[in-house]
Amino acid sequence: MTRRYAVKEIFRTLQGEGGLCGTPMVFVRFSGCNLWSGREEDRAIARCTFCDTDFIGGERLTASAIADRVAALDGPRMVCFTGGEPALQLDRALLEAARGRGYRVAIETNGTVALDGLRPLLDRVCVSPKTPDLAVTAGDELKLVYRGQPPDEIRRFEALDFRSFFLQPEAGPRYQAMLDGALAFLTRQSRWRLSLQTHKLVGLP
């Protein structure tokens, strides 16, 4: 039976965060996550309580159907698989379908699900930790949401094998306080860089 993936949405935009901020790309957002159901009534018991992404519902699509929809957007030649948690569904068949149509591929993951044999097919790996327990400890960038963590808790991630480290203030009602705290940390060191959700600032999806 042909595998079908639960996909929330597929859209073209500019990357709004991290090291590729401003880069045109297509996003494939998977439904489902292993840290939160996505329902507000479950937020208090979630392993991640601060996620601001809607990843409930969507369609069931084959790898070829996803690749066709990406190609139909007729835009940038890079596709980013995100979620939810994309590593729950992403596999070689889907990556090969995207690469076969001439796309470079990236993943934005919470890092709790091992990528196993997928790494050679990924051009870029971004891990945004939501818990201390990571199965993915190497990649291109680590993007940590700042929620008021003490400096030592932030710096412990520096032992991991990432090329770049980004600190991004938590969105929501505490945003200004989190931005101020992130800036206070960032201006006193040289390893971490600031990441902002610039797509939201300019009104992009």
| Active site residue ranges | 27, 33, 48, 51-53, 108, 199
Q: Collapse the DSSP code of 179 into the 3-class scheme (helix H, G, I; strand E, B; otherwise coil) and give the result.
A: helix
Asked if residues 135 and 112 have their Cβ atoms less than 8 Å apart, the reply is yes
Specify the residue for token string 């601060």: 50
Each residue of 26-57: b (16+ CB within 10 Å) or e? bbbbbbbbbbbebeeeeeeebebeebeeebee
Alpha-carbon distances of 88 from 35, 54, 70, rounded to whole Å: 11, 16, 20
Which H or E element spans position 70? Answer: helix 63-72
Report the distance separating Cα 170 and Cα 168, nearest Å.
6
Asked if residues 182 and 169 have their Cβ atoms less than 8 Å apart, the reply is yes
Report the distance separating Cα 162 and Cα 172, nearest Å.
28
